[in-house]
Each structure stands twice: as C-alpha cells, then as structure tokens.
Structure 1
Amino acid sequence: MKKLILTLSLVALFQNFNAQEITLDKIYSGYYRGKGIAGITSMKNGESYLVIEQGGIAKYSYKTSQKEGNLVDGNFESYEFSDDESKILLLKDSQPIYRHSFLGIFDVKDLKTGKTITLNEGKPIQEPRFSPDATKVAFITDNNLFYQDLSSGNITPITKDGKKNEILNGLADWVYEEEFGHARLYEWTKNSDAIVFVKSNEKEVPEIYIPIYGKSLYPSEMRYKYPKAGEKNSLVSAYIFSLGKGSIGKINLDNFKNYYIPNVIQTSASDEMVLITSQRTQNASDVLKVNTKTGAVTKLFTETDNQWIDTDNVTLEFLEDNSFLWASERDGFRHLYWYDKDGKLKKQVTKGNWEVTDYYGFNPKSKEIYVQTTEKGSINKVVSKINIENGKSQLVSNAEGNNSANFSKNYNYFIETSSTASKPYTFVLKDGNGKVMKELQNNDEQLKKLHSDNFSEKEFITIPNAAGDQMNAWIIKPKNFDPKKKYPLFMYQYSGPGSQQVANSWDNGNAIWFEMLAQKGYVIACVDGRGTGYKGAKFKKVTYKNLGKYEIEDQITAAKWLGNQSYIDKSRIGIFGWSFGGYMASLAMTKGADVFKMGIAVAPVTNWRYYDSVYTERFLLTPQENPAGYDDNSPTTHAKLLKGKFLLIHGTADDNVHFQNSMEFSEALIQNKKQFDFMAYPDKNHGIYGGQTRPQLYQKMTDFILNNL
C-alpha cells in the first residue's frame, strides 16, 4: 500500500510539474533554479582564472577558455590567495553567526611544496588574513587576535582580553557588522611588520535576549549586545601591534572624530594604514593616515554632508604611488575623486547625472580605472573603463540590464555577468575592450521552463509623485491580459534608504512568485519612491529626519495613480513588504487605509526606537534629538487607522528586527479593537527559512491574497 501511495504521489507531482503554469511546488523544488559560476578569481599573471567546481578549484585559460586542471583538489566553500600566490587559504566548513560573520575550519596549502597546514589546530576561527609576505596568517578566535607562523605552525596571541559580550579585538560587534557591512576590523601593513586593529568595548551596551524554543523542556536563551537608537554603543579604540617588538601601542585619536571606526584600510606604503572614523551623527568622516612605526596620525581630509554619509558603502582605493580614489556624493551624485598621497584633491574623475556603483580596479599601463555605473539610466548598471588623466570613457559591457565584471589582473580580459528583467544571468568572457570571446554559461534552460509555464515580462514605466519626480516602476500583467477587464492590484516594495527594487535585472527571489500571482489574475507592481537609490542624493536624502513620511506618501500616490488606470480595480489594491518593506506595508494599512484593502508585513520595524543605533541614527538622529521623527511615522502610532485585511509575520529569533516590533504593534492593534492575522515562526531569524519554512510561508501569503484581494 505504501508503495502504491508513493507511486500515485509521484504521478501527481509529475503532472503538476508539466502543467503550463508556475506553482509553489515548482519554485521550491528548484525546478526553476538557475546556474552560475562560483568563486571567479584572476591569477596574478592575468592569463588564467580560477573557479570553484565540484571536486576542486579549477584553473582555466582566459585566452582559450579551456580548463587546465585543478589547482587544488577537494571540496571547499571559498578560497583566497596570498599576495605572491605561493599559498592558498581554503575554507572547508563554516557555521554562520550573523549576516557576515561565521566560524570556519581553514587549511593553508603551500602551492610550491604541496604541504597543507590546518589553522588553529583545526579549531574554528574567524576572519583569517594572510600577511603580505605570505609567512603568517592572522585570525580571531574567542574575540582575541592571533597569528600563526606557516613554517613552524606556532600560534602567537596578540590580545588576551577578548570576552563574549564584553571585549572584541579586530572583530566587529553586531551593529558594526550589520550596518557597516563587514566583520573584520584589522589589517596587516604592506611590509607585514605590524597589524592595526580596532578594539570594541561593549560592556555598557544594552543586551537583547531572545528565547530559543527548540525541542527541549525549557527554552534556552540567545543573548548579545544590541545598541538601539539613542542607547550606548561600543567604545572603540585603535591599536598597532608590532611583530618585531611583540608589543601593542594605542593610536591617539583624541583630536579626530572617533565615535565610530568602521574601516581599517591598507595603503600602498610599507608602514602606513588608513582609518576612517566618524562622529555619531554620521554626517562627517575623517580619513586618517597612521604611521605604524611612530603611531603618528595625520588627517588626509574630512568628508562632510548636510544629511548623512553612506558609512556602509565606502570606496577608498590606493594606487601604486599611494595616491587614492575616494567615492563621494558631494556634487549630488556618487562619483570618484582622485587625491594625492597627502590628501590633496587632484581632480574629480567621474561626473554626470549618474552614479558610480562599483569599482573594479586601475590599470597603471593604460591609466584607466574600471567601474560599474548607472550612466545608461538609473535602472541599468553598465561597466566602463575611464582614463584617469584625460577622462576618456569606453563602455565595455552591454548597454542595458545589470552588468558586472570580474577582470583579469592585467585587464586584458574580463568575465561579464549580465541579466535583464526578461533574461536570466549569462556569463561571458570578453577581452579588455568588451569584445565577446566566448559565452561560458547561460540560463536558457531556466528561461525556457518559465516561458513554457507562461512567464510574463515586466513592463517598465514611470509614475509622477506630488513633488514632480518621475518614480521608476515595473508592472507584471497576466499572460492573457485583457485591457477591457478590471484586475486587482498587488504592490511590492522595499523603499529603504538607497535601495532599489525597480531594476532592469533578473530576480531569482520573489519575482517568480509574483509571476505565479499574475497567472492567478493579479496585476503586480513595484514602485521606487523617494528615499531609494541611484537617482542622486537629493532624491535619496529628502527623507532625512522624517524616515517613512515621503516613502509612504509616494506608495499611496502610486497606488492611486495605478488605481486610476482603466484596467485596475481601485477597490482591490494590496501591498506586501519585508523588513523596511514590512514597515512600509504596515504604514500603508494604517496611514493609507483608505487606499489599500489588504496588506502583508513580514519582519517589520514598527517603531524605530527598537532598531539599531548606527542605521536609525544615520537617517533620524537620536530619539532624544528628534522624537517626532521616530513617532510621527511609526505604524504603532497609527494603529487605530487600520481598516483592511492585514497579515503580520515575524520570526521569533530575528536578531535584526526584533520580534518585539511585531509584539508592540499587535498590542496597539488589539487595544484599538482591530482584527488582523498573525503568524510567528519559531526560532527563525530575519530571513525566515529552514526546512519547509519558506514553502509554508509563501503558501500562507498566497492563500491570504487569494482570500482577501
């Protein structure tokens, strides 16, 4: 009997997978999963590149695109070369901690002798880093900094005072990691003589605790330091460890902005380091040069802004002569500026009503920098090379879509990764001028499956807001769209500062689910309103000190505009968002209750007082300085306005947007006698995944939409 049931189940599944429609079963079975190329890295000679494949790290020729064998055999999660490529650092196994941090088991293989050494005797470590001369590896364990000699295997402690929830050495605390975007806060000098590191004292930072239910009789507890807006942050200080002396010296930053030290950056000079520091308000950053022999500190310059500086998106790149490139929004768009080694501005390198979104490198022979920009429109990202001296520019990627590049060390070749909203990712080998040499990987099979299941392409439009801006938007219509019919509208957005959801790029995330909803008779739309990125600083930073105000006004305006289109039923408009998008969906269902019939908010911030200090204060200042900015646009404040059908979803172990947000909002709705639906996911973090969690979550949301919109 069991065998018969299994056979019938497989037949049913097969029939379902061959129906000409997109289903949740197909989405979460991996049926539409695309293909990629992992771990692309150019070798130093610029003629070969490496990728991670099953069974090893494979070496390929740029010129012929042919595989030349495995550089290293075995299965690895990631790898990193020493500067001279004599050794390779291999991650064998990892366990995530927060967004960027993880514990890992690492080996170092000597590519000349074939000898392999395991770091820290095979015990887990964090953030290993080769010394530039490839003789040592520094790493962190138990919040202390160490280095291991690769010849003798001897391990030398650099610090000894590290302690969980108290002292971190060379390692970011939770809020630094989350909001400044990296976990490592140490760096070797170019001559391998010293390490500069940041020490974080988080003893006075308030602690958050999260119950972990698991399957035990009594729940356990997760505790960590989490500075909420206006509360105490870690006290940070910077130090130099001299390998020759075996001693640590404190760097005196008293005369500079020193509330935050988000970046430690190696320069091209042998005994020098740069620290980027910031005051608490994050509207001014000092770029400081530290002499690691003497400890002397010199300010190269101070970057200032009337609103905020994107301290989480720093570009500082040193050239061979120790001059450097710095990204700034000072002219209203994010561009590159060239400084000499002493911090004197030489020139603005890029200019225009577009932005530099990534930096790939500098070719000293041709004097060209390689960058990704929005010069072909804010929804596109393209790759160009620009002569740093005369400003001459040449596009080397496709002119449309989302294009990124991985260049060879000599810049004679690059692997372009590209996509559009209607074409999944392709990987193409090109020469340095952008001429196609060979397509390495495409996703035609993925697209074929989607088209056979009646995939509908996005349409890009613009929608005016009250300020006269043209907001970027996309729309997905049902495949059998009839302009004479009235369709319900389901809106998606994120809307957070500097973000972008309306992009001419392939989306392997929610997009296929949206396609499924379109097949069920909904028009799906997404609008990037004020506060979002890639349209200049003015459009992005108008939300300063009023986070949520203009963003929700623009979503309401967009909903009304779309509702006035002949094919939309304005009485059936819904909205969905996650995280900041969940915050916006909650505002839409309260401040926009007369427009939105239905809303789904996943892991929303419902009161900015509950969110972390670095992110929130960057845009709102502290609650003590700007209480109205926190309260006037809190969904909790407006709970009494809720009218429509509302589904609130949160993971109980969310370390980022705490479950507390949804608890407070729920209580406000309850006390205002508002009926709503709520789903809590036990022990799930901000991503709400694991096992069958995602399929269950998306089935719940799908059912809620079908029943209420």
Structure 2
Amino acid sequence: MTTEPESFPRRQARTQRFTLGAPRSFTIAPDGSRVVFLRSASGTDRANKLWVHDLTDGGERSGTGVPPAEGPGRVAADPEALLGGALEELSAEERARRERSREGGVGIVGYATDSAVELASFSLSGRLFVAELRAGTARELNVPGPVIDPRPSPDGRYVAYVARGALRVVGAEGAGDTVLAEEAAENVTYGLAEFVAAEEMGRSRGFWWSPDSDRLLVSRVDDTPVKRWWISDPAHPERAPQQVAYPAAGTDNADVRLFAVDLRGHRTEVVWDRARYPYLAHVHWSAAGVPLILVQARDQRSQLFLAVDPDSGATRMVHADEDPHWLELFGGVPAWTPSGQLVRIADEGGARVLAVGERPLTGPQLHVRAVLDVADEDVLVAASAGEGAEDPEIGQVHVYRVNELGVERVSQEPGVHSAVRAGRVTVLISAVPDEPGAKVRVLRDGKPVAAIASWAEHPGLSPRVTLTQGGARHVPCAVLMPTDYHGDTPLPVLMDPYGGPHGQRVVAAHNPHLTSQWFADQGFAVVVADGRGTPGRSPAWEKAVDGDFVVSLHDQVDALHDLAKTFPLDLDRVAVRGWSYGGWLAALAVLRRPDVFHAGIAGAPVTDWRLYDTHYTERYLGDPGTTPAAYDRSSLITGDGLSSPAEPHRPLMIVHGLADDNVVAAHTLRLSSALLAAGRPHEVLPLSGVTHMTPQEQVAENLLLLQVDFLKRSLGLA
C-alpha cells in the first residue's frame, strides 16, 4: 500500500514553516569552550531541548581551517525526561509571553545562563529547573510557581524568577527561596514586561542582575490605568470571557517604574521624569559600567540615555535624541564599551549609523540594524547596504566588525546573516537564497572550527525568485513565477505583501519565499513589494509613512505597474493577500483601488487604528485626540474608510482568529458591519480559538487551500 505524499501546506504547518529541528538561541561560554543552544529532535518535533556543543581545535589543529563534520552536540536538558513524559501546562502569563514573542514551540523555549555559561535556568510547566552545562545534568528547584523567566545571577549562586507577580530569588542549590518584591495590589507585578514593551519595544524582560550579583534592577508595572477588554470564544459559550488590559491608541498606558532591589529586599526607586518620558524602552547593566536605561517620550520624538546610581536611584543624562518623526528602538543598544563609552544607533545625516561616544563610526554606505556584541577592539553589528552604497544588495543583511579604523565584513556570501559573539568565538547564522533553512558555523578568530547541525525538514520546493526593483522610487521587489512556467503568456498576479513597519519581506534567503512560491505554483505570478515604511533601506524610507499609512498602497500600485513592463503580468487579474498590517493593506487595496485590484484576502487586519496599541500606533499616526485626520486617512471604516470609490465592488475575504489579543476580532467584525451597511459583498472566515499566530496545523494548512480556492473563484480561473 502506497501513501500519498504530504502536500506543501500540510508539511509547512506540521514543521512550523520548516523551523522545527533548527538550532536557535545561542550562548557562547566566555572561555570559548562551548556553545549552548536550543533545538528539537527532528523537523516535526515541537519540543526543544537544551544542547551543548563542546568546541575543540577542529580544523585549527589540522591546519586546514575546514570545520569538522556537523556534530549533534550533547543534551544538557531534556523536557520529556524532566517532566516524566507529562504534557506541559502553561499559566495564562506564560501563554501571553509566548504570544508576544510569537513562540510556537514547546519544551524549553527560552533559557538564561550565568556569566561563565556554567549554569542555565529555564521553566517547564511553570516549574523551575537548572542545568549544569559542563556536567550535562539538570534538576528541579522546588519553589512556588508558576515560574516565569528564571535567570541565574552572574556568579551562578542564585536564580531570580517571577511567580504570581512577585520577584523571588532562590539559591542555585534550591535553598533560601525569598520574596524580593511584591505587592498585594491585584494589578501590580514585579519583574515582568508590560504589554507594549513586549509587543512593540522588543523588551521581553522585567529584571536585570547586577554584574556583582548583589542586587537587581526590577520593573514595577501597575496596569490599573489600562482599559479592560474582553475576549470571548463564541464556540464555547459556557466559558467566561478573558479579561485583558489593552492600551489602545490615545488611552492610558500601564504605570511603569524601576527599582534597585538588593538580596534582602531593600528597594530604591530609580528616578527620572516619568511624566515626560513614560516609556522604559531598554535596560543595560554590564561589568563595563553603571546601569544604563533608555526612556522615551510618549510621542517617541525624544528620548534620554540615563546612567543610574543604584545606591541612591539618581540618574544623570548621558545623551539625548530628538527626531521630528520618531525615534526607532534597536537591538543591542544602548550599551557601554569596556572603556565606558556609550554605544548607540542613530539617524544622522540621512543615514542610520553606529555611534560610539559622540562619534559616528559608519556612514551612508551602511544601514545599521542592530548591535550584536561590544568588545574592546570593535563593535559587531548587523547592517544592510545604505543608500550611499554602490551596490544596493537587495534583501541582504550582513555582519560587520566596526571600529575607529574602519569596517570589515564578516559574512561574505549573499544572504541574510546574523551572529552571536563572545571573546574569540563567533556563531554565524546564515540564510542564503539557494539553500533551505540556515547554516550555523562556529568561528574562532574568524576561522571555521565547527558547524552546528540543523534537523529541519527540507521544504520539497525551491523558490523561483527574482529580486529586483520597481517603480520610480525603486521599491525592492521579489517576483516569483511557477516552477513549470517557461513561456511569456501573462499570468494572473498575486501581490503578497506585508508592506509596513518592521516587516521586511524582500530578503535574499530561501525559506521566507516558500509560501509565495507555493501560490505561484497554483498558477500565479507572485509579487512581494517592500514599499515605503518597511525597514532596511534608509531612515527617510521608513519615516515616509508618518501620519499616513496609505502611502504603502501607492507603492504597491507603482511597483506592480512598473514590473508589468518586464514580467508577464496580467493586469486584468490582480489579487492581493496579507496578514496583520498586510491584511489591512490587502483590504485597503480592494476598497480604495478596485481599478487595480480585483480580489483580496485580509488576514487579521487592523481595520481601525484607534483599536490598536499605543506605542505602535501613536508612533506613526500620533494621538487620535489631536490628529484624528491621520487615523481617518488610514482607516478602513471611519473617515476615508469606505467613502470612495463605491464601484466596482471587488471580492474580499476577511480571516480572523477570535482569540487574537493583539489585533482583536472587533477589527474584522466592525469592518464586516460597515461593508454590509454599504452594500459591499464580502466573506468572513472566523477562526475559533486562534490567536494572531495560527499554530494549529489543520488551521494553517486549510487556510492556504481556502485562499487559493477563493482567489481562483474571484478571478475566474479554472
């Protein structure tokens, strides 16, 4: 008996977009002896284990410089063994943390180590575990739970963690569990990031150990001022709705404070002008200097870098930034150099540069995206080609070493690269256009000494993608044709954008284009366009959406029409699909430009930006109380929403998870009501129990199949 091969949608769903089995979350021991990481046992196993790859001289000893064969490493912690085969049980707080980080795995999904990378801590089913990384043993510490975000002290003697809104600390051997900070107030927590910090600022943490392991900086969050929303599951009317604190644009945020707390529980509040700078964006505390925090004004047009005196709580300004549009937040900064200079990323002279002290070390040739490591002799950064570069290198991101003497590129082959570094050892992660997944190589002094194996499944297809530019503004584009297409007969077009802030889709890598290629193989020419507002090009490009998201639609249209001069695109049959911001863009396209777009699929669309969160929405559109016109321009419902044009009506499918606590289902329900009142035909596909992610295999698979069916029906394709 033969079995039918699994379809691509089923395999993609089962493998979580072919990410299962791939190594991730790397930590390097400062002595260069080992690399710690997470990986599941196969390309279909969701449960991550904690692994250690012990480094030897490898190719260095042989003198060849060639890395040895990929080794599996050794398991330092196996969740199945630690839980005795029992299934994980997650608290509501842990589920929310995973939703904010878009974490779809199970098992050990995060860990932290001491400074020597000898001890790791993590939680499973709300229980606290530690692993001795050198010995390869793991054990549970008996503490109150459910445990969230356990982190060892730098000296490895203690583990701090959060349980039921309180910050606690326990000895690494399990003795002396103590409450360091808690309040009886129902809405007050210590050591956790508030919603907008985790969802929009890239700050998932709420406490930070001192280098001397004698105290911590701890955030206190009071979300009493935040409005309460209710998310229900209509498929289960017997269940009570879930109450969530959601800070919608123009409404109150949580009250966030910061305290220095010693191991006896003595607290000292860190003082700054919280009325003017309410957002605690980043905290940095390393052996290189005093604690450093970055605080932002609510309009995000000004921010302060402040040094903290943990004894008194006083702060002093190290640097201040202002921008007429907004100030972006970046990974890895602010930080200190070992000599005590401030490291930051700034928009200066029309470029995004790395600055150390007050001196920019890069220019318009590079668009710096993140700081990866700070050392005595250099700073390691991730960057793409800036607008001053001779070669635009469409969709590429590289790793560079930067110091006062110049810039050296570490990654060489075209692709999207990142890195983790400690001392002489660098882990280089490389996704390239011609190979699936990502390669992980370990370098010592720039020479390969090891490779860490990936057990991710092969997708079974390879994107037939052309990276190019379209329109007068040279919009970065990816064009994908059917695998078996070799003619010049015009094909129906599927625009497949995200198209907005923090969402680059046109990348020089293999796996990000797999879904688009599958749609292409259903008979479409697929176009992905990264218009103004998307990252990776220049500050001006990103900030062109200030006050008006609709410019995203203009660039989609311009790119489409320009590409039709070169590629066989049938402009009489053009559809568009997208999720989240891309879902908003897809709906906007068929409602505002039915002369161009003939069908649309809007997944989890933000239909009225007044219903989205403060930190994201106000950055681009301002306060809805003072800039209502900006919200009306970008709305699918109010103001300019359905005002024009009325004809022709184009088919629109709206898809939304009813458990979504990021873009709540009210967005789709209000749009559907407005469309019905306007006499516009549309389809709504509600997904019971589904959040902003779609991790359920059957849902993820069938969503793709239903979309293809809708597109073919709507465009009159056989």
Aligned to 2:233: 212
The whole-number CA distance in structure 2 between the counterparts of 1:363 and 1:313 is: 16
Partner of 1:57, secondary structure, is: strand
Deviates further, 127-136 or 471-480:
127-136
Deviation at 1:428, TM superposition (A): 4.8
Aligned to 2:441: 429
The whole-number CA distance in structure 1 between the counterparts of 2:502 and 2:475 is: 14
Aligned to 1:567: 568
Matches within 5 A, 1:116-515: 118-119=140-141, 121=143, 123-151=145-173, 153-161=175-183, 163-164=185-186, 166-213=187-234, 215=236, 218-243=238-263, 246-254=265-273, 257-268=276-287, 272-311=290-329, 313=331, 315-339=333-357, 345=358, 347-364=359-376, 367-375=377-385, 377-386=393-402, 388-391=403-406, 393-407=407-421, 409-411=422-424, 413-429=425-441, 431-432=443-444, 434-437=446-449, 440-441=452-453, 446=458, 449-450=460-461, 455-465=462-472, 469-508=473-512, 511-515=513-517
Deviation at 1:441, TM superposition (A): 4.1
Structure 1-normalised TM-score? Answer: 0.86
Structure 2-normalised TM-score? Answer: 0.85
Deviation at 1:251, TM superposition (A): 2.5
> Is contact 2:166–2:189 with CA below 8 Å preserved after alignment?
yes
The whole-number CA distance in structure 1 between the counterparts of 2:603 and 2:296 is: 32
Q: Does 1:633 find its partner at 2:651?
A: no
The whole-number CA distance in structure 1 between the counterparts of 2:17 and 2:355 is: 43
Matches within 5 A, 1:480-629: 480-508=484-512, 511-546=513-548, 548-563=549-564, 567-629=568-630
Q: Compared with structure 1, are the counterparts of its residues 264 and 51 closer, same or farther at alpha carbon in structure 2 (3 Å cutoff)?
A: closer
Aligned partner (choices 63, 66, 80) of residue 112 of structure 2: 80
Partner of 2:642, secondary structure, is: helix
The unaligned stretches of length 5 or more in structure 2 are 42-48, 59-67, 80-106, 386-390
Q: Does 1:24 find its partner at 2:27?
A: no
Q: Compared with structure 1, are the counterparts of its residues 703 and 629 closer, same or farther at alpha carbon in structure 2 (3 Å cutoff)?
A: same
Aligned residues: 657
Q: Does 1:59 find its partner at 2:53?
A: yes
Kindly provide the CA deviation profile for residues 221-257 of structure 1, in whole angstroms up to 9, marking residues without a partner as x: 111111111011112222222335x422222223884
Deviation at 1:434, TM superposition (A): 4.5
1:132 is aligned with what amino acid? P
The whole-number CA distance in structure 2 between the counterparts of 1:269 and 1:210 is: 45
Deviation at 1:120, TM superposition (A): 5.3
Aligned to 1:707: 713
Q: Compared with structure 1, are the counterparts of its residues 422 and 444 closer, same or farther at alpha carbon in structure 2 (3 Å cutoff)?
A: farther
Q: Compared with structure 1, are the counterparts of its residues 201 and 458 closer, same or farther at alpha carbon in structure 2 (3 Å cutoff)?
A: same
The whole-number CA distance in structure 1 between the counterparts of 2:255 and 2:555 is: 39
Partner of 1:307, secondary structure, is: coil
1:177 is aligned with what amino acid? A
The whole-number CA distance in structure 1 between the counterparts of 2:606 and 2:17 is: 32
Kindly provide the CA deviation profile for residues 34-70 of structure 1, in whole angstroms up to 9, marking residues without a partner as x: 6522443322211432344657633322522576974
The whole-number CA distance in structure 1 between the counterparts of 2:121 and 2:455 is: 31
> Is contact 1:650–1:680 with CA below 8 Å preserved after alignment?
yes
Deviation at 1:421, TM superposition (A): 2.9
Q: Compared with structure 1, are the counterparts of its residues 423 and 309 closer, same or farther at alpha carbon in structure 2 (3 Å cutoff)?
A: same
The whole-number CA distance in structure 2 between the counterparts of 1:350 and 1:576 is: 38
Aligned to 2:84: none
Identity of counterpart residues, as a percentage? Answer: 22
The whole-number CA distance in structure 2 between the counterparts of 1:703 and 1:125 is: 45
Partner of 2:676, secondary structure, is: helix
- Greater RCO (Cα-Cα under 8 Å, separation 6 or more): 2
The unaligned stretches of length 5 or more in structure 1 are 1-6, 95-103, 340-344
Kindly provide the CA deviation profile for residues 314-336 of structure 1, in whole angstroms up to 9, marking residues without a partner as x: 62222223323111123322221
Q: Compared with structure 1, are the counterparts of its residues 267 and 362 closer, same or farther at alpha carbon in structure 2 (3 Å cutoff)?
A: closer
Deviation at 1:522, TM superposition (A): 1.0
The whole-number CA distance in structure 1 between the counterparts of 2:118 and 2:467 is: 49
Deviation at 1:594, TM superposition (A): 1.1
Kindly provide the CA deviation profile for residues 73-120 of structure 1, in whole angstroms up to 9, marking residues without a partner as x: 5346244321134432244x25xxxxxxxxx42212456899866345
RMSD: 2.8
The whole-number CA distance in structure 2 between the counterparts of 1:498 and 1:27 is: 24
